Amino acid sequence: MEAMILAAGRGERLRPITDTVPKPLVLIGERTLIEHHLVRLSAMGVNHVVINVAHLGEKIMEFLGDGSRFDLKLSYSIEPNRALGTAGGIINALDHFTEQLFLVINSDIFTDCDFSQIQMPDSSKAHLVLAPNPAHNPNGDYCLTDGHLVQHPSNPAQTTVTFTGIGLYRKTMFEALDIEKCGLTQVFDQPIRKGEISGQLHPTLWIDVGNAERLAQARIWAKTQEKNIKYC
């Protein structure tokens, strides 16, 4: 299997740290954010990982190199002028993939998710990993009904879940899209309406390291629990 790690974001809410350190290289315990993902991907048998870079991208490429120390082959999708956003970054990187199915992970999350347990039905165009709503996203993003995503409900009593930034995608989902004119939410919209996006709930550790408070939370968790993290 092939995978992609989204690492091009500016990390505005973690400034001033991210003025000189790209967010994927922020330390969580003994490893950087992106290293946690690479170790897991290598352990599950992934052999090729594409990383998109923009802000301070040269530091990411210098730090990770060719990926050999993780027993991985790393390719870099460079966004020289500005970060293209999640959907744009994936579209820009499609030529790096040789397979039709690939896993995508946001670099700025901290999780104990076992990527090898992400299973997509043959009928789906995408399969998303979802989490119980955190305090910073109390209304959630979608509903998960019978293993498939549905749009955010009008009924406030219906249980919602939050997209973790982890998903399996088919290449065909992105091939005809305009790199400048769509966000990932727009990409999902029509397939969700057609019942073509499935999902599964990850109920344990998942932290969106989007600001200093959640960075501190992840570091505290790592300090006390990292020795218990299983890498597949």
Domain boundaries, the chain: 2-228
Q: What is the pLDDT of residues 60-101, one digit of tens each?
A: 999 999 999 999 999 999 887 776 778 888 999 999 999 999
Q: What letters, b where the CB count within 10 A reaches 16 and e where it falls short, cover 79-101?
A: beeebbbbbbbbbbbbebbeeee
Closest C-alpha among 137, 146, 142 to residue 159? 142
pLDDT value for 181: 61
Q: What is the pLDDT along the chain (232 residues), one digit of tens a residue?
A: 899 999 988 877 878 877 888 999 999 988 999 999 999 999 999 999 999 998 888 999 999 999 999 999 999 998 877 767 788 889 999 999 999 999 999 999 999 888 988 999 999 999 999 999 998 888 888 888 888 998 876 656 578 999 999 999 999 999 878 776 667 888 898 899 999 999 999 988 999 998 999 999 899 888 876 555 554 4
Structural tokens at position 51 = 């990383």
Positive or negative: CA dihedral 77, 88, 11, 72: negative
CA distance 3 to 101: 9
Topology of domain 2-228 in CATH is Spore Coat Polysaccharide Biosynthesis Protein SpsA; Chain A (3.90.550)
Residues 70 and 32 sit within 8 Å (Cβ to Cβ)? no
Question: Interhelix angle for 57-64 vs 33-43, to 10°?
Answer: 40
**Residue partners of 144: CB distance under 8 A and separation at least 6:** 130, 150, 161, 199, 200, 201
- To which H or E segment does residue 189 belong? helix 184-193
